[in-house]
Amino acid sequence: MRGKYLITIKNNVLRYQFEIRRNITIIRGDSATGKTTLIDMIREYYDNGEQSGIILQCKKTCVVLEGRQWKVLLENIHDSIIFIDEGNRFITTDEFSSAVKQSDNYYVIVTREGLPNLPYSTEEIYGIKNSGKYGILQQTYQEFYRIYGDVKNSIQFNPDIIIVEDSNAGYEFFENAAEDRVWETISAGGKSNIYKLLKKFDNKKILVIADGAAFGPEMDRVMKKINLSADKAIFLPESFEWLILKSDVIRDKALEEVLDNPGDYIESREYMSWERFFTALLVDKTKDTYLSYSKSKLNEAYKNKKIQQTILQEVPKQLL
């Protein structure tokens, strides 16, 4: 499946409206915000249609997945938006992760667990908030909000250390850029090591740069660590390759359209998370040019100072 989908679901007392933008969406946040009630309404509408008294508007079928037979049920669900409430232990299994990877469905999962097997985006982690009564009806309007909004630093940060999730091209880029700056660049060698490095260099001023497109599972512990210290900051572009594509290094009208609406171009069955799409896109756009990109080793062209500065302009000024 590709694209984004607006969902409106309502009964006599509640009205939810939200947009699903990627293959995996996580809902968490405080208790008593209506997460389970939302899942119950989806289930009741799926089972009884309009005879449930619920009105659901969405271009795709919305269905609830639960219970021990989840795998059998999932085999027969296609091109749908699947909702999973907390309490379903299968979401933590490798089997479920494999099923999501090969799936043409989108998934909305209620959980506070990290789910390290699922590479979901930091942008698609939501809470639900009550936005008051809707219109003249005694209907409460529930909407989603991003739990991790734009991470902003109001003062100039100037890190001692930049921890980069990448071990190859992304790491090389920031290490090379450091020649003119003062930071030390450390490769975490994977997102799960970033928390350990934050602990190891607890007394240093650290900027973490990670692939936001798949960093969702790490956000809970990493953001708690970062928020407890004024000396830690994080920058979460979709990926390093996205940063290059977004900069003016590659000028391509068609590329702008893709970057403005990536969800319209990224097939969930082909790309479990968006950073792989952006890598493939960058490789394709630079093929047979002097900027020919390889993730395993940074092309020398990206070490050119002018190109380097153009890419670094995509990093918020106050961070570097």
**Smallest separation (angstroms) from another protein to the CB of 258:** 34
- 36 is a contact residue toward another protein (CB under 8 A): yes
- 86 is a contact residue toward another protein (CB under 8 A): yes
Choose, by CB under 8 A, the member of 106, 107, 195, 277 that binds another protein. 195
Binders of another protein among 222-261, rule CB under 8 A? 224-225, 228
Choose, by CB under 8 A, the member of 220, 259, 263, 283 that binds another protein. 220
Choose, by CB under 8 A, the member of 17, 33, 117, 247 that binds another protein. 33
- In whole angstroms, what is the distance from residue 165 CA to residue 237 CA? 11
**Smallest separation (angstroms) from another protein to the CB of 32:** 4
- 304 is a contact residue toward another protein (CB under 8 A): no
Query: Between 118 and 157, how does the x/- string for binding to another protein read (CB under 8 A)?
Result: ------------x---------x-----------------
- In whole angstroms, what is the distance from residue 288 CA to residue 290 CA? 7
- 189 is a contact residue toward another protein (CB under 8 A): no
Amino acid in position 104: D
Residue with smaller CB distance to another protein, 202 or 248: 202
Q: Give the CA diameter of the chain.
A: 67
Choose, by CB under 8 A, the member of 23, 25, 80, 88 that binds another protein. 88
**Smallest separation (angstroms) from another protein to the CB of 217:** 10
Among residues 135, 145, 127, the alpha carbon closest in space to that of 15 is found at 135
Q: What is the number of other CB atoms lying within 10 angstroms of the CB of residue 15?
A: 20
- 28 is a contact residue toward another protein (CB under 8 A): yes
- 168 is a contact residue toward another protein (CB under 8 A): no
Residue with smaller CB distance to another protein, 3 or 34: 34
- In whole angstroms, what is the distance from residue 62 CA to residue 85 CA? 13
Question: Could you tell me which stretch among 33-41, 176-184, 253-261, 284-292 binds another protein (CB under 8 A)?
Answer: 33-41
Among residues 31, 103, 95, the alpha carbon closest in space to that of 269 is found at 103
- 72 is a contact residue toward another protein (CB under 8 A): no
Residue with smaller CB distance to another protein, 218 or 238: 218
**Smallest separation (angstroms) from another protein to the CB of 28:** 8
List residues binding another protein (CB under 8 A): 13-14, 28-37, 86-89, 92, 111-114, 130, 140, 195-196, 199, 220-221, 224-225, 228
